[in-house]
Structure 1
Amino acid sequence: MLKTQIVDGLEVYSCLPSRKTTKPALLFVHGAFAGGWMWTETFMPVLAKAGFPCYALSLRGHGGSAGREQINWHSVADYVDDVKTIVDWLGEPPILIGHSMGGFIVQKYLEHREAPGVALICSVPPQGLIASQFHLMFNKPQLFQEINQIMDGKYTDTGTLREALFAGEVDETMLAAWLSRMQPESHRALWDMSMFSLPNLYAMHRPPMLILGAEEDVLVPAFLVQSTGHSYREPVHIFRHMGHAVTHEKEWPLVVAHLRDWLEEIKP
């Protein structure tokens, strides 16, 4: 059963196994413009059924968490502190699963603390956002402009959202619901991810790591996911015919099954 609570001002979703388990807890970290809600309908129920206690936070200023009024001033370091807060609340280090910006935050978290495992899904690479921004600007200039409008809180439409996040067939009801939940993102955090707060590869703890990407991702292209794998000397799996929002693509069960199989191999 999915539950929601507030922990030190942060919205936390939980979806727990129906029986007692010895498997490690999972903490999901969402991407830009989103919230903890993005994990609740797909990944969390499947992995909870597989015996993993699942938690997803909404970073400060996102979803039901405090700080929406100051959204533009939140830094990546602030978001890392949010992850620390929920890890401390859990009482034991969870496996961290980050999507897009969330993957970048997870990488920054590893500068400070250890984790039993980390999954980076369509994650901003350790080299930052610059390459993906230029790639989008030159290949899809209209979409680049419209995404910048979303960042400023201006309305977009489902057509823009479909082009930015999805490659396959999309359920219109889900797309409209996603659009209604999207929100502005912190300008400061985006600058941090561009150049001012890139991960220090030499200071990071190196737990078991899973790196996943999507073949038709226009926001974090597959070649940048490959660069993340190269940076960490880890293999990369790219899902064909999928876009950035692999949590909600029609074939999302393939992604969560791959993640579940990897999780089963991690020793508690």
Structure 2
Amino acid sequence: MPLQLELQHVPAVQPGNRTPILLLHGAFAGAWCWQQVQQDLATAGWESYALSLRGHGQSEGTLMLASATLNDYLADVEQALGQIGQPCILIGHSLGGYLAQQIAERQIVAGLALIASIPPYGLSGSLSYMSALHPNLLMGLQSFALGHTSKPESALLQHLLFAKNTPMSMVDDFAQHAQLESMTALSELWMPQWWKNLPRFPKFPVLVLGAGDDSIIPFSDVQITAQAWSVTPIMLAEAGHAMMCDRTQPQLSTALLGWLAKI
């Protein structure tokens, strides 16, 4: 029996015939992280849905989260798309970006926006990057991921995920919502799958957005993702990894809406 999944629906302020948008969150997060982006989309005339993967947010499956696989998460996305009932524009952040890329190769989508996304080949480059440049942040993240702490420290998240000078109130809010992630799914991404970097020539629009102040996804991985989808990446120079929740969120919405206006 399918799990009950949280799917936060925000209709457009002025309803029209535009393609709906499905937003996919990253690791340790949930549909809640898209709240302001959904409001900005609605104001601009776009209907959107934000999914919480199993065991995240208000979705069922918390007790099974530790064993959730990438295929389980992909099944969740497919379930959400089935519920919406038509091809969507997929917007995915980090882990959600990886899932969005996999879905785009499985079924028809109307567009694909990848935000600070895990590249097609996985997380091995990110781990090397963090080990070399941010070892303390990596250790703190691993401690939280392994359940050694029930909630991540705001100071850790500030350096790990957020743009410089982001108000601590925004960091604290993220920390209060952040939750454990499936180590099973993350471990699948640690095994490099370089063949997945082969160029694609999609028949739908693709946007690749990178964060200039990202402590998790290096610029090289942003380039690899863009090359895999045959586009040129756009960098938000001041943005942190969790750009939908930091002080640069208006810049993210502006970039997304500018791209959507051309579809």
Q: What's the TM-score bracket when you normalise by the shorter of the two chains?
A: over 0.9
2-side partners of 1:73 and 1:204: how far apart?
31
2:254 is equivalent to residue 260 of structure 1: no
State the 1:198 CA deviation.
7.7
Deviations 1:230-268 (A, max 9, x none): 2222110011122101112212211111111111111xx
Look up the match of 1:34: 29
CA contact (8 A) 1:110 1:205 kept: no
SS at the partner of 1:10?
coil
Q: Work out which of the residue numbers 141, 158, 164 in structure 2 matches 1:162.
A: 158
Look up the match of 2:119: 125
SS at the partner of 1:56?
strand
Q: What is the percentage of aligned positions where both structures have the same residue?
A: 32
Look up the match of 1:72: 66
Flag the 1:181–1:145 CA change in 2: closer, same or farther, 3 A.
same
SS at the partner of 1:160?
helix
Unmatched 5+ stretches in structure 2: none
2-side partners of 1:203 and 1:74: how far apart?
29
Which 10-residue stretch deviates more, 153-162 or 88-97?
A: 153-162
Deviations 1:89-140 (A, max 9, x none): 1111110000000000111112311101000000000121001111101211
1-side partners of 2:95 and 2:184: how far apart?
13
Look up the match of 1:194: 190
Look up the match of 1:11: 6
Flag the 1:157–1:202 CA change in 2: closer, same or farther, 3 A.
closer
CA contact (8 A) 1:216 1:222 kept: no
Read off the aligned partner of 2:6 and give its amino acid letter.
E
Flag the 1:55–1:126 CA change in 2: closer, same or farther, 3 A.
same
Flag the 1:85–1:199 CA change in 2: closer, same or farther, 3 A.
farther
2-side partners of 1:22 and 1:232: how far apart?
27
SS at the partner of 2:169?
helix
Look up the match of 1:4: none
Read off the aligned partner of 2:48 and give its amino acid letter.
C
Unmatched 5+ stretches in structure 1: 1-6
2:241 is equivalent to residue 241 of structure 1: no
Aligned length in residues:
259
Q: Work out which of the residue numbers 16, 19, 24 in structure 2 matches 1:24.
A: 19
Look up the match of 2:51: 57
Read off the aligned partner of 1:184 and give its amino acid letter.
L
Q: Give the CA RMSD over aligned residues.
A: 1.9
Flag the 1:197–1:63 CA change in 2: closer, same or farther, 3 A.
farther
2-side partners of 1:107 and 1:224: how far apart?
14
CA contact (8 A) 2:200 2:228 kept: no
Pairs within 5 Å for 1:104-253: 104-153=98-147, 154=149, 155-195=151-191, 200=196, 206=202, 207-253=204-250
SS at the partner of 2:261?
helix
Which 10-residue stretch deviates more, 107-116 or 201-210?
A: 201-210
Flag the 1:224–1:200 CA change in 2: closer, same or farther, 3 A.
closer
Flag the 1:113–1:205 CA change in 2: closer, same or farther, 3 A.
farther
SS at the partner of 1:265?
coil
Deviations 1:164-219 (A, max 9, x none): 00122122222111101111111111122222778846797823110000111011
1-side partners of 2:163 and 2:248: how far apart?
11
CA contact (8 A) 1:192 1:198 kept: no
2-side partners of 1:184 and 1:152: how far apart?
8
2-side partners of 1:191 and 1:251: how far apart?
30
